[in-house]
Amino acid sequence: MSLLAGKKALVTGVINDLSIAWGIAKNLAHHGATLGFAYQPNPKIERRCRACVEQLTPRPVFVEPCDVARDDEVKRLMAHWKEVHQDLDILVHSIAFAPATALGVPLIKTARADFLTAVDISAYSLIALCREAEPLFRPGGSVMALSYHGAVAYYPHYNVMGVAKAALECIVRYLAAELGGGRRPDARRVRVNAISAGPIPTLASKAVGDIDRMVEHYGEKSCLGRTVDQNEVGRTAVFLASDLASGVTGETIFVDAGYHFIGW
């Protein structure tokens, strides 16, 4: 029996076959989940996302645009999901963005507008997606978001993204409490977690900068003498999405080859 048989998953953040979201999607599909995708509206991104999705068998029917900075688009996405798939078990948030003017700029020089954009798209969007998805979740649903160690430690080039990831991890804990339902007898017991991945070359990480040096550094310092890849993140996503993780919520799980606790 496949771990995720009968479960329906909506995956955001596939822009090409290097995307962490694509590593997650392939692994969810491998374990039997029915997949749907939401891509950032842009003809080039749509083409690239569809080129990935077409590799899956059976081919997902739900491949829809959604700019997560827009509440109306998030609402429309979830309403459309309801029409096509009725309900939802797994929601993957694999989205981050900061304006180019904020990347490589020390935090102290970050413009207010750039800060707000970075936190809006990289962190607030999880709240927006969960708000619209909440009524669709079946009992035991699982939400996951992608984070990075820059949320809790200083990385010279990460700057505003570190602040956005700290917000994201905090949002994960608050949403875990709210969607878990506590003592409410009618609660759907949806779990919300973050995966904090080690550095992986992707479009987003190349935009942040220094990715090759980071990968090299993890090779020197991490317990396993390397960084991780998209499939390793994907397999952790399968665990979080499955009933194997039925008692795990509000956590940030590191998939970083054992880097984050090394002091020397």
Catalytic site residue 259? no
Minimum CB separation of residue 186 from ligand NAD in Å reads 32
Tokens of 46: 């749509």
Catalytic residue among 39, 158, 218, 259: 158
Q: Work out the angle at residue 249's Cα, subtended by the Cα atoms of residues 118 and 95, and round it to the nearest 5 degrees.
A: 25
Minimum CB separation of residue 20 from ligand NAD in Å reads 4
* DSSP symbol at 120: I
CB closer to ligand NAD, 197 vs 253: 197
CB closer to ligand NAD, 1 vs 100: 100
Please tell me whether the peptide bond between 99 and the residue prior to it is cis, using omega within 30 degrees of 0.
no
Minimum CB separation of residue 101 from ligand NAD in Å reads 16
Catalytic site residue 148? yes
CB closer to ligand NAD, 6 vs 41: 41
| Positions in the binding site for ligand NAD (CB under 6 A) | 13-15, 19-21, 40, 45, 66-69, 94-97, 121, 146-148, 197, 199-200, 202-205
CB closer to ligand NAD, 16 vs 248: 16
Residues annotated as part of the active site: 148, 158
